[in-house]
Amino acid sequence: MRILFYTGKGGVGKTTISAATACFLAEQGKKVLIMSTDQAHSLEDSFEKRLNSEPQEIYPCLYAMEIDSVEEGRKVWENMQEYLREIISKKANYGIETDEALLFPGFDEVFALLRILEIYEENKYDAVIVDCAPTGQSLSMLTYAEKLQMIADAVIPMVKNINSIFGSFISKKTSVPKPKEIVFDEFNNLVKKLTKLYEILKNQEETSIRIVTTPEHIVLQEAKRNYTWLKLYGFNVDAVYINKLYPEDMLKGYFCDWKEYQEKSISVAEKSFKRQKIFKLELQSDEILGKNKLDKTGESLYSESDPLDIFVRTESFFIEDKNGTRTFILELPFVKDKNEISVFKDGQDIIISWLNETRRFHFPEKLRRREISEYIYENGYLKIKMDY
């Protein structure tokens, strides 16, 4: 089963391209599920069909759903919510605001991921297409597993020990109820599931991330930043879609200056994403809504390609051994200022930060006893030299 994620800045046309891809594959006889993880769901608008939180066949071979993160949260987080509801109830009047507080802002993406894992394990489809939320939320969704794993490894065991020894005493003194063991088990189970899916999403034979952009400069810049973030976390971006290109016959008269601007933007995209497959889609005369228009869009995009293909496989990182120095090399394209990057060693791990994103790499055995002698950034690669 192939999993295709479509991500990009809000308004670039992710939903349209996701839906058109799903329609094209279904027309080829593939059993396809398309799902939306964006809480501002617009998938049902594209198909002009009512959707809910369960897969439903809307056309032959094509199933669709819009994930309800609140419902998904109740399934896997119920005991934690009940524990926090108990604390709030003891300290304040219970009301609607309590339930709102227990929605865990930012965890919407986590619960969406869990549903993707459930569908993956059912293995009912040839392809699952994920219409993601805008860039920042998508990145949070894809990286939560690694961040929660650190909490599970370092924090939860300590909290459990404190709770076991002092929980009853603290409860008596503060009237805060002692958390039940099931609360910790629930969290660890959540992390295990997310970690399992994280490995699936990084498996290039199963999952591809695809970036949707438009020719506008500011949107292209975000697409490049998005690509760099995804490379930092080891995801494979194998295709880029340039949407809403002005047709040739529109670039006349008043819009003639846009011709040169658009050609320059396409050139920038092609040079920036040399290895990725580039798809181009012209701006249509009216909205792409309904099966017929989505079918035509899919045929236009994939007249010479199969969207299930893996268009490129990229390395997450590699190690170079030269004259006794081992160099940990990570591709980080489009970094404007090398001072935006920081690197340090923490035990057997290496911590790499770029802008507001931080990733922890667990070192391979052959690097664990070495220390960082220096790190440099050149030609789109971060090179971390390791010596004894």
Shared domain for 215 and 336, answered yes or no, is: no
- Beta bridge mates, 375: 384
CATH of the domain at 6: 3.40.50.300
At 114, list the tokens. 């869990």
Whole-model pTM over 0.85: no
What is the residue range of 228's domain?
Answer: 1-313
Which pLDDT belongs to residue 115? 85
Tokens 């920042």 belong to residue: 136
Which pLDDT belongs to residue 170? 39
Shared domain for 372 and 232, answered yes or no, is: no
Domain boundary among the residues 256, 285, 313 is at: 313
Residue 359, pLDDT above cutoff 80: yes
Span of 218-227, 312-321, 334-343 with lowest mean pLDDT: 312-321
CATH of the domain at 370: 2.60.40.790
Shared domain for 304 and 198, answered yes or no, is: yes
Domain count, the chain: 2
Which pLDDT belongs to residue 183? 63
Which pLDDT belongs to residue 224? 93
Most confident of the ranges 152-161, 210-219, 366-375: 210-219
| 250: Cβ contacts below 8 Å, ≥ 6 apart | 283
Which pLDDT belongs to residue 124? 96
Residue 42, pLDDT above cutoff 80: yes
Residue 149, pLDDT above cutoff 70: no
Mean pLDDT of the 214-234 span: 91
Residue 35, pLDDT above cutoff 90: yes
Domain boundary among the residues 278, 313, 348 is at: 313
Shared domain for 340 and 243, answered yes or no, is: no
Shared domain for 196 and 332, answered yes or no, is: no
Q: Interior CA angle at 53 toward 51 and 59, to 5°? A: 40
Which pLDDT belongs to residue 173? 45
Kind and range of the H or E run holding 359: strand 357-362
Shared domain for 68 and 216, answered yes or no, is: yes
Residue 41: pLDDT band (50, 70, 90) is confident
Q: How far apart are CA 134 and CA 331, in angstroms?
A: 23
Shared domain for 301 and 328, answered yes or no, is: no
Residue 121, pLDDT above cutoff 80: yes
Which pLDDT belongs to residue 357? 81
Q: How far apart are CA 374 and CA 163, in angstroms?
A: 42
Residue 382, pLDDT above cutoff 90: yes
Which pLDDT belongs to residue 180? 58
Shared domain for 302 and 364, answered yes or no, is: no
Of residues 360 and 124, more confidently modeled:
124
Shared domain for 240 and 204, answered yes or no, is: yes
Q: Give pairs for 67-75: CB < 8 Å, separation 24+.
A: 67/35, 67/36, 67/37, 67/111, 67/112, 67/115, 69/39, 69/107, 69/108, 69/109, 69/111, 69/112, 70/103, 72/111, 72/112, 72/114, 72/115, 73/103, 73/104, 73/107, 73/108, 73/111, 75/114
Shared domain for 237 and 376, answered yes or no, is: no
The helix/strand/coil state of 355 is coil
State pLDDT tens for residues 72-97.
666 656 555 565 555 545 554 545 44
Which pLDDT belongs to residue 271? 94
- Residue 378 burial (CB count, 10 A): 8
The helix/strand/coil state of 310 is coil
- Residue 321 burial (CB count, 10 A): 9
Domain boundary among the residues 281, 313, 345 is at: 313
Span of 179-188, 245-254, 318-327 with lowest mean pLDDT: 179-188
Shared domain for 175 and 198, answered yes or no, is: yes
Which pLDDT belongs to residue 43? 92
Shared domain for 92 and 227, answered yes or no, is: yes
